[in-house]
Amino acid sequence: MIIHIDMDAFYASVEIRDNPELAGKPVVVGGSPTGRGVISAASYEARKYGIHSAMPSHEALRKCPHAVFIKNRMSHYAAISRQIRAIFFSFTSLVEPLSLDEAFLDVGGCLRLFGSGPEIARQIKSKIFAETGLVASAGVAPNKFLAKIASDLDKPDGLTIVDPEDIHAFLDPLPIARVWGIGPKTRHKFTRLGVHTIAQLRQLDLKLLQTQLGDSANHFYKLARGIDDRPVIPDRIAKSVSHEHTFPLDIRADEVLSAWLHELADLVGRRLRRHEIFSKTIQLKLRYDDFETITRRKTIAATHSTQMLFETANRLLADVNRSADRGVRLIGLGAANLSRSTAQQMALFDQEDQQKQSRVDQISDSIRDKFGQKSLNRGSNLEHKIRLRPDPRIGNED
């Protein structure tokens, strides 16, 4: 028996809990509406105006001029998330977090101790509210796919139970967009076939699906039948770790972009080291002033060294064929292909340098752990100030 717990409008709900005067108001958590930020979360009052996560902040302001905008407090949300996760572990050790505000729980081994799956979900929801003052929705089902859908159907404060004997009846009326992996392009393919609901998807022949969708056909064929054999995997390694920065001004100076890459490498490297994981694939992301977005990646020996992350990303930046008049709106650095082992062989002449970099990382991490992220800066970060000076290479603010 699988339970999916999803905190309702988590970031916004935390802000309302901490400041009761915000109750009933359209609360938006994210970047400033006068800049280039995006929405991280919106209260249900704000959602009535069409505001949703990942929406540009200025668009949210246009939709709801009287919305209350609040800068996110990720460390605060993370601390509350740990509190909620401790509640999960008080029921089962099989907890698979998906993000700060949602997780899968396999409660099959604790039914005799705590009762049925629905009863355990009720206890978890009640305990979360009692200890944090926050509301969660839950889906209870035979597998992860069904539990994830169920938790989203009756928000906020919902509890939806999928009977193993009525899986098709549960799925049939739902739109195909509920199926994992069906995005706009795939949905368009199904629309041409006259398929709009999961019931219609299940009626399609597997060979026809394979003709239309190739290797992903089996995936959709199984999910349309409610088949999902994936186990709940506790303490799973994330697929990637990344940080991005959106500039208030379009940046054209390579030295500024390079300096920001160093700062992003600091952030990504620190997260990798904190979780004792290593990356073999480094990715650079650039978004230009016309919103065109490109990515470049390179596979290297497994590392969590800030310097190695920076040097690899900086080489990728140097290899980008970017004309001098194209401003950069956003830059990002990501680490993927993660593992808990370095699984690498260093040349003898590399070992001393690697050890030095490791010591630098350890010292900088300990300083920041004690005094905060901004307590220590690399000299290259002074280049950020270039963007604040009148400079013909830097575009005008939107």
DSSP code at position 343? -
Q: Look at residue 242 and give its three-state secondary structure.
A: strand
DSSP code at position 96? E
Q: What is the largest CA-CA distance in the chain?
A: 71
Euclidean distance between CA atoms 364 and 310, whole angstroms: 15
Per the residue annotation, which of 102, 119, 165, 383 is the catalytic one? 102
H-helix or E-strand spanning residue 97:
strand 95-99
**Nearest CA to 394 among 289, 290, 252?**
252
> Does 21 participate in catalysis according to the annotation?
no
Euclidean distance between CA atoms 177 and 191, whole angstroms: 11
Alpha helices in 97-243 (DSSP H): 111-114, 117-132, 144-151, 167-171, 184-192, 198-202, 206-213, 217-223
Euclidean distance between CA atoms 23 and 246, whole angstroms: 30
Euclidean distance between CA atoms 253 and 146, whole angstroms: 49
Structure tokens at 167: 């899986």
At a CB cut-off of 8 Å and minimum separation 6, what does 360 contact? 306, 307
Structure tokens at 95: 């907890």
Q: Taking a C-beta distance cutoff of 8 angstroms, is the pair 110, 120 a contact?
A: yes
Supply the residues annotated as catalytic. 102
